[in-house]
Amino acid sequence: MSSPAPSLADELRRLHASPHPIWLQVGNVFRGLDTSVLPQGHAVYTAEGIDYVGAEPPRSELLRPGQTAPDLRLPEHTLLPGLTDAHTHLFLAGGETDPAARSLHLNLPAPEQLTQAHTRLTRLVALGVTAVREAGDKANIGLDLQSRYRSAARGIMPYVDAPGAAINHQKRYGSFMARPMEDSAPGGCRGDRVAAGAHRIKLLATGIINFEKGAVTAKPQMPVDELREFVAAAEDHGQQTMVHCSGHDGVDNCIAAKVDSVEHGYFIDDDQLARMRDLDMVWVPTFAPVQFQLDQPHHIGWSEVVCEHLRRIIDAHSRRLQRATTIGVRVVAGSDAGSHGVAHGWGFLRELELMQAAGLTAAQVLHTATGAGFQRMGYADTFGVLAPAAKARFILTDRDVLSSVSHLRADKVVVFDHHVLDQNDQESVPGL
What does the pLDDT look like over 70-84, one tens digit per residue?
999 999 999 999 999
Q: Are residues 249 and 262 in the same domain?
A: yes
- Which is nearest to 160 in space by CA: 175, 179, 147, 151? 147
Which whole number is the average pLDDT over 223-244?
94
Residue 255's pLDDT is 98
pLDDT at 411: 95
pLDDT tens by residue, 32-41: 999 999 999 9
Evaluate if residue 63 carries a pLDDT over 60: yes
**Calpha distance 82→1 (Å, rounded):** 38
Q: Where are the alpha helices (DSSP H) in 99-208?
A: 99-106, 110-127, 141-149, 186-196
Q: Please tell me the predicted confidence (pLDDT) of residue 187.
A: 67
Q: What is the pTM of this model?
A: 0.97
Residues 38 and 212: their CA atoms lie apart, in Å, by 47
> Are 95 and 57 within one domain?
no
**Residue 195, pLDDT above cutoff 90:** no
Residue 218 lies in a domain: yes
pLDDT digits (tens, 9 = 90+) for 88-147: 999 999 999 998 889 888 889 999 999 999 999 989 999 999 999 999 999 999 999 999
- Does any domain span residue 429? no
> Is residue 400 located within the same domain as residue 317?
no
Q: Where are the beta strands (DSSP E) in 286-346?
A: 330-331
CATH of residue 59's domain is: 2.30.40.10
Side-chain half-sphere of 423: how many Cα atoms within 13 Å?
A: 20
Q: What is the pLDDT of residue 186?
A: 67
Query: What's the pLDDT band for 3 if we cut at 50, 70, 90?
Result: low
Residue 194 scores a pLDDT above 60: yes
How many independent structural domains does the chain possess?
A: 2
Amino acid at 173: Y
Which of 283, 272, 268, 251 is CA-nearest to residue 376?
A: 283
pLDDT at 316: 98
Q: How confident is the model at residue 184 (pLDDT cuts 50, 70, 90)?
A: confident
Provide the percentage of residues in the chain whose pLDDT is more than 90. 90
Q: Do residues 62 and 51 touch, judged by C-beta distance below 8 A?
A: yes
Per-residue pLDDT for 51 more than 70?
yes
Give the CATH number of the domain where residue 141 resides: 3.20.20.140
pLDDT at 245: 98
344 exposure class (CB count in 10 Å sphere: 0-12, 13-18, 19+): buried
- The pLDDT of residue 407 is above 90: yes
Shared domain for 261 and 324, answered yes or no, is yes
| Mean pLDDT across 400-428 | 96
Boundaries of domain holding 150: 83-373
Q: Facing residues of 395 across strands?
A: 80, 414
* pLDDT band at 4; cut points 50, 70, 90: low
303 and 397 in a single domain? The answer is no
Taking residues 335-359, what's their average pLDDT? 98
259 and 313 in a common domain:
yes
